Structures are given as C-alpha cells and as structure tokens.
Amino acid sequence: MGGAGSGRGFQGGRATTSEMLALDVRRVQRDGLLLPGRASTWKWARNGEKVASIQMRAEAGRVILDYSSRSNGGEWQAIEYPVSLEWTGCTLGGRRAWFLCPGKGCGRRVAILFGGSIFACRHCHKLVYACQREDANYRALRRSDRIRDRLGWPAGIANPDGGKPKGMHWRTFERLTAEHDAFVQVSLAATVKRFALRI
C-alpha cells in the first residue's frame, strides 16, 4: 500500500488536508455541541472502523479538547487545552461559530482544525489542499469528470460522451461540453508531453 505522496498526480511537498483528522466547527455547531455545559466525544472512522476520538467540553466562548497523542510510536501523552470560539452574524439571522486557532502565535479564525500533536489550522500544520498537488493532467481529468457527472455521462474521458440531459438548456449544455472538451485537450496534451519526455 502506498503512503503519503503515492498515487496519481503527486507533485511532492507538503501533506494535504485530506490526510489529517479534521474537526469542523460547522458540524460541531450543527450537532448542538457548542452549548455551554455540553460534553461529547467526536470520532473519526475509515472504512467503518474507528481510528481516533476526542473529548470536547463546551464552555462559554470556548471548547476544551481532551485526547491522547503520541509521536513516532512513542508513549501516549494526555493533552488538554482550550480552543476559543468567535461568533459572527449570518445574513438571514442566527450566528455562526468559528474556531480561533490555538497554534502558537496564530489565532486565525477558521472553520476546521486539523489534528496532530495539537489541533490547529492548516497554515500552522503547513498543509495544502489535495488539488494543489495535482499536475495539469490530473487537474484537467478531475474537472472534466466533474462536468461529466453533471451531464450524467460515465466518468473518464475514454468513455463515450452522452447526450444532453433532459431539462438542461441547450446553452448550458453547449457551454459545459465546450469546457469538457477543453479540459480533455489539456489532459491529452499533458499526457503526450509526459510520454515524449520518457522516450
């Protein structure tokens, strides 16, 4: 099995956000876990199996994170610290919660904290989004597949194109197929260039 950095489109460099445990304040708020006095356990699973969990205790203006962590297979250490919250008003009423990153000297207002020895923002962990590590070929393939999905066509540029979906305006269909064809051309050009360099 490949580790971090294996797989298609890898360009080397920093770890991605998708490789880390993510604690999303929007989901925590939606589940009512930010009410002062609430204590809860947040769990992460892969393929239906629990891989990690964290205890959260909500207080006025902050949550207390409580979990165990270890570095490089060392001893487990109990970690507990507060993460401050900030609230902003929503356009149609209500309030939205944000984490204030507890990373040393950071304090950024963020929706997601990523796990490590400390839960912090992606900047503190020096993370990039997975799409930032894609080369031109795979980025074009991903974008063409997104359009194919919207058009109801099978994924993959080697598969035949389908027709216009029922109810879609012709102008929209023509715009999407033109974008799709442009992404296919970019992908094919990148593939030809890659194989030309290897010959």
Q: Domain residues for 69?
A: 17-130
Residue 130, pLDDT score: 61
Q: Is residue 1 part of a domain?
A: no
Of 14 and 118, the one with more pLDDT: 118
Task: For residues 152 and 84, state if they share a domain.
Answer: no
Helices 170-198 & 136-151, crossing angle to 10 degrees?
150
Would you call 86 helix, strand, or coil by DSSP? strand
Task: Tell me whether residue 154 is in a domain.
Answer: yes
Q: Is the pLDDT of residue 59 over 50?
A: yes
Residues 99 and 162 in one domain: no
Please check whether residues 111 and 145 belong to one and the same domain: no
In a domain, 11, yes or no: no
**79 and 176 both lie in a single domain:** no
Please say which residue of 130, 150, 167 terminates a domain: 130
Distances (CA, A) of 36 to 25, 40, 61, 110, 143: 15, 12, 8, 20, 43
Last-in-domain residue among 85, 103, 130: 130
For residue 24 the two structure tokens come to: 């999303």
Q: Which residue has the tokens 């050009």?
A: 189
Within 10 Å of residue 34's Cβ, how many Cβ atoms? 20
pLDDT number for residue 18: 65
Residues 72 and 161 in one domain: no
Of the three residues 130, 159, 177, the one that is the final residue of a domain is 130
Whether pTM > 0.85 for this model: the answer is no
Domain count, the chain: 2
Supply the pLDDT for residue 4: 35
pLDDT over 50 at 9, yes or no: no
Of 144, 142, 110, 145, give the one whose Cα is nearest residue 125: 110
Same domain? 26 vs 72: yes
* 92, two tokens: 């149609």
Q: Which amino acid, 10? A: F
pLDDT-derived band at 21, boundaries 50, 70, 90 = confident
Q: How many Cβ atoms sit within 10 Å of the Cβ of residue 164?
A: 15
Average pLDDT of the chain is 83
Q: What is the pLDDT of residue 10?
A: 42
What is d(CA 91, CA 96) in angstroms, rounded to the nearest whole number?
10
Q: What is the pLDDT of residue 198?
A: 58
